[in-house]
Amino acid sequence: MKLEMEKLIAHLKSQGFVFQGSEIYGGLANSWDYGPLGAELKSKLKKMWWDFFVKRNPYNIGLDTSIILNSNVWKASGHLGNFNDPLIDCKECKSRWRADKLIEEKFTDMNVGGWKNEELENFIKEKDIKCPKCGACNFTNIRQFALMFKTNQGVVEDEGSTVYLRPETAQGIFTQYKNSQRALRKKLPFGIGQIGKSFRNEITPGNFIFRTREFEQMELEFFFSPDDTTDWFEYWLEKVQQFLLEKVQLKKDNFILREHDKEELAHYAKRTVDIEFKFPFGTGELWGIAHRSDFDLKQHQEHSGQDLTYLDPATNQKYLANVIEPSVGVERLILAILCQSYKEEQLENGERIVMELPYALAPYSIAIMPLQKQQKEQAFNLFEDLLQEFDATFDETGNIGKRYRRQDAIGTPFCITIDFDTETDQSVTVRNRDTMEQERIKIEDLKDYLNNKLK
Ligand code: GAP
């Protein structure tokens, strides 16, 4: 059965995963806040990425750079000149659209990235593509729309004080590449990872948290010698898939790989492969892996006047490093995980919604429940003890069936019930979210049992 986004969004709101931003003031278009469980899920996913791509990778280190950078960074990177979307206005109802998205939403297997404005305009006319709001086909010509949020730093609002919110975290890494390499005495090849907020004044944000104006990115810039014969692009493409399959546990059937053709490549890229997820509203980019060559370091070297070359101790040669960049949005990956996890199941005694989240990402790993009031104190003591080692919650309201449903609905892998017999047999009942099977476990064995299962 196809997942309906409205159902998922309503569920995530009711369970405390995602709320509409500024809701009590009527909201702010396309802004979303992460509730207590969403914040937990996000933080676990970011830690998972950091562990895999930074801490447990033999080559890499991490970094945390500013959101607001010297504006020359954006001149050098090309964002001030090139980071635009093709904007088109409906002359009838005055609504504003992205010309490329109008086409791709109508012809879902087309990709028009890289088309010239004229080609887009002609195609819209030829195919009589209509304004999604009023149904007319009467558009203005395309204008390029700058995607960076602009503001001023300090008290004076003039051109000299203009600064931008970063549209990607990558440039912070490039500007601190030399400092990081020197300070950590890194030899090529090595990578620098970063997680942080990025901002884009998207013309057509939407599809819930898929495209927003404020989002987080997890980016790795991997630097290597131009003479290195290792295929680092394939290495990182493989690593990203390993992360998706083994850590995030996305099903292989749920995503595809798409190689960019020449016309579609971004201004900095030599090769790009997108990993696209099959979202309920259509297949969309999840993770981009790009070969950025030495484009960024060369640009920053030129614009800053600083030497960003690397002196190879083995050959005594100086050169600019090449770069492979795997880049993913935190929220987009969260959306893929949530879409895959949400299940409605018909049971013998009713129905349940279950979030089949990977154990490592579930906001709570275990829920502790006293069967009746009489066991509350004993259950609470056990909860306090387990809380030191596990992500645990305590649930004492409603009948036990309702409590199981509640925990299923937020993806808690194990429920632990303290009942009449616990005092005498020093055992508890452990119930599995996915199989719904129950096992009697001795309290003294409980931590080992859980550690084993949650591993
Ligand atoms: N540094 C390269 C870069 O930023 P990108 O393809 O523009 O490349 C990388 O973005 C990833 O960031 C995307 O694959 C997507 O997961 C995420 N992303 C980009 N724009 C986004 C937006 N408006 N909302 C949510 N996520 C976004």
Question: Mean of the pLDDT values across residues 404-417?
Answer: 98
Give the pLDDT of residue 91: 87
Bridge partners (DSSP) listed for residue 230:
none
- CB under 8 Å, gap of 24 or more: what pairs does 428-432 form? 428/382, 431/404
For 170, residues 6+ apart whose C-beta sits below 8 A from its C-beta are 194, 219, 221, 296, 325, 327
Give the pLDDT of residue 1: 64
Compute the distance from residue 238 Cα to the ligand 1 centre, in Å: 20
User: Residue of the nearest CA to atom 20 in ligand 1?
Assistant: 211
56 has a pLDDT exceeding 90: yes
84-89/162-164 β-pairing: unpaired
- Tell me the CATH number for domain 84-146: 3.30.40.230
Which tokens is 13 given?
């709101």
Q: pLDDT tens for residues 187-197?
A: 999 999 999 99
User: Residue of the nearest CA to atom 19 in ligand 1?
Assistant: 329
3-class DSSP assignment, residue 397: coil
In sequence order, what DSSP letters do the residues of 436-455 get, joined into one string?
--EEEEEHHHHHHHHHHHH-
Compute the distance from residue 286 Cα to the ligand 1 centre, in Å: 8
User: Residue of the nearest CA to atom 11 in ligand 1?
Assistant: 328
186 has a pLDDT exceeding 80: yes
pLDDT: which is higher, 114 or 251: 251
Binding residue ranges for ATP: 200-202, 210-215, 285-286, 329-332
Top mutation candidate among 82, 198, 214, 296 for ligand 1, by most atoms within 8 Å of CB: 198
Binding residue ranges for substrate: 98, 168, 215-219, 325-329
For tokens 């509350």, what's the residue?
376
Query: Percent of the chain at pLDDT above 90?
Result: 85
Give the pLDDT of residue 67: 98
Compute the distance from residue 217 Cα to the ligand 1 centre, in Å: 7
Compute the distance from residue 399 Cα to the ligand 1 centre, in Å: 44
- The answer to whether the CB of 328 falls within 8 A of the CB of 286 is yes
User: Residue of the nearest CA to atom 18 in ligand 1?
Assistant: 329
Interatomic CA distance for residues 181 and 411, integer angstroms: 42
* Phi/psi at 402 (5° precision): -65, -40
296 has a pLDDT exceeding 90: yes
Could you tell me the residue ranges of all domains in the chain? 5-72+148-338, 84-146, 364-454
Q: Could you tell me the pLDDT band of residue 208, with boundaries at 50, 70 and 90?
A: very high
Over its C-alpha atoms, the chain yields an Rg (Å, rounded) of: 26
User: Residue of the nearest CA to atom 17 in ligand 1?
Assistant: 329
- The answer to whether the CB of 330 falls within 8 A of the CB of 42 is yes
Interatomic CA distance for residues 122 and 55, integer angstroms: 50
Average pLDDT value over all residues in the chain: 95
Give the pLDDT of residue 135: 93
In Å, how far are 87, 121, 203, 336 from 164, measured between CA atoms? 21, 30, 17, 30
Q: Could you tell me the pLDDT band of residue 317, with boundaries at 50, 70 and 90?
A: very high
Give the pLDDT of residue 349: 85
User: Residue of the nearest CA to atom 26 in ligand 1?
Assistant: 329
Which among 370, 422, 30 is positioned nearest to 205, based on CA atoms? Answer: 30
Which among 175, 123, 121 is positioned nearest to 296, based on CA atoms? Answer: 175
Q: Is 329 a pocket residue for ligand 1 (Cβ < 6 Å)?
A: yes
Does the pTM exceed 0.75?
yes
Which among 102, 105, 107, 79 is positioned nearest to 90, based on CA atoms? Answer: 102
Top mutation candidate among 208, 213, 291, 332 for ligand 1, by most atoms within 8 Å of CB: 332
User: Residue of the nearest CA to atom 4 in ligand 1?
Assistant: 168
Q: pLDDT tens for residues 22-51?
A: 999 999 999 999 999 999 999 999 999 999
pLDDT: which is higher, 113 or 424: 424
User: For the CA atoms of 405, 406, 411, 417, what is the dihedral angle to 10 degrees?
Assistant: -80
Alpha helices, DSSP H only, in 127-199?
170-175, 177-183
Interatomic CA distance for residues 214 and 233, integer angstroms: 28
For 370, residues 6+ apart whose C-beta sits below 8 A from its C-beta are 376, 378, 379, 380, 396, 417, 418
- The answer to whether the CB of 295 falls within 8 A of the CB of 322 is no
83 has a pLDDT exceeding 80: no
Compute the distance from residue 374 Cα to the ligand 1 centre, in Å: 52
Which among 296, 310, 306, 301 is positioned nearest to 225, based on CA atoms? Answer: 310
4 has a pLDDT exceeding 70: yes
Interatomic CA distance for residues 43 and 104, integer angstroms: 33
- The answer to whether the CB of 326 falls within 8 A of the CB of 291 is no
- The answer to whether the CB of 290 falls within 8 A of the CB of 311 is no
Which among 410, 276, 413, 247 is positioned nearest to 338, based on CA atoms? Answer: 410
For tokens 């154990």, what's the residue?
359
Compute the distance from residue 389 Cα to the ligand 1 centre, in Å: 35
CATH 1.20.120.80 fits 364-454, yes or no: no
Question: Mean of the pLDDT values across residues 58-82?
Answer: 93
- The answer to whether the CB of 176 falls within 8 A of the CB of 116 is no
3-class DSSP assignment, residue 16: coil
Q: Is 327 a pocket residue for ligand 1 (Cβ < 6 Å)?
A: yes
Give the pLDDT of residue 262: 86
Give the pLDDT of residue 80: 87
So what's the architecture of 5-72+148-338 in CATH? Answer: 2-Layer Sandwich (3.30)
DSSP conformation class of 38: H
366-370/392-394 β-pairing: parallel
